[in-house]
Amino acid sequence: MSLSGTILRLFGWKVVCSVPDYPKCIICVAPHTSNWDFILGKLAYWSLGRQAGFLIKQEWFFFPMNLIFKAFGGIPVKRGKGSSLTDTLIKKFSETERMSIAITPEGTRAKVSQWHTGFLHIAYGAKIPIVLGAIDAATKTIHLQKTFFPTGDTEADMEAVKAYYRPFTGINRDNFTV
């Protein structure tokens, strides 16, 4: 067992994975209600011998944090009007042989009424699968058990994704809504 798998087990967590190691994919991660989600997700993916980058707001990329986040696969995101992160990532996926990026559709650890759809647009535009990753605090299980292929119908796709996540409980359970 890997060191990361051992650390997860010491804290009572387990990883259940039945999806292939796709050369290119978006990993949709929910519920995202705690800073621990990042650590748990990284440990889970490392325990499987896999690598994934993640999006993080540009404001976190200051010295020395930028060195840490970059080493862990962090990709700084400049939020706001005029920047098309979706188009940039679609292009990046087309230019590389192997790339996985974890995205939290909630976009924040706080309770939100609406999920962001960018992960659906990126996967559809890049013609890559979405691995649905769930962090279930109720059972202390990290699930990587479903692959979703977006159809281009954003509303229907989002409803299907949310339906998958309904049974799961976030670490801060009151912050998770689907």
Q: Which tens digits make up the pLDDT trace of 120-156?
A: 999 999 999 999 999 999 999 999 999 999 999 999 9
In a domain, 177, yes or no: no
In a domain, 178, yes or no: no
Structural domain boundaries, residue 13: 3-169
Q: Quote the number of domains for the chain.
A: 1
- Say what the pTM is: 0.88
Q: Crossing angle of helices 85-94/118-126, nearest 10°?
A: 30
The residue among 91, 102, 78, 153 whose CA lies nearest residue 125 is 91
In a domain, 114, yes or no: yes
In a domain, 176, yes or no: no
In a domain, 93, yes or no: yes
In a domain, 174, yes or no: no
Which has the higher per-residue pLDDT, 111 or 19? 19
State mean pLDDT over 14-34: 95
Q: Rounded CA gap, 104 and 152, in Å? A: 19
Question: In the prediction, which pLDDT does 57 show?
Answer: 81
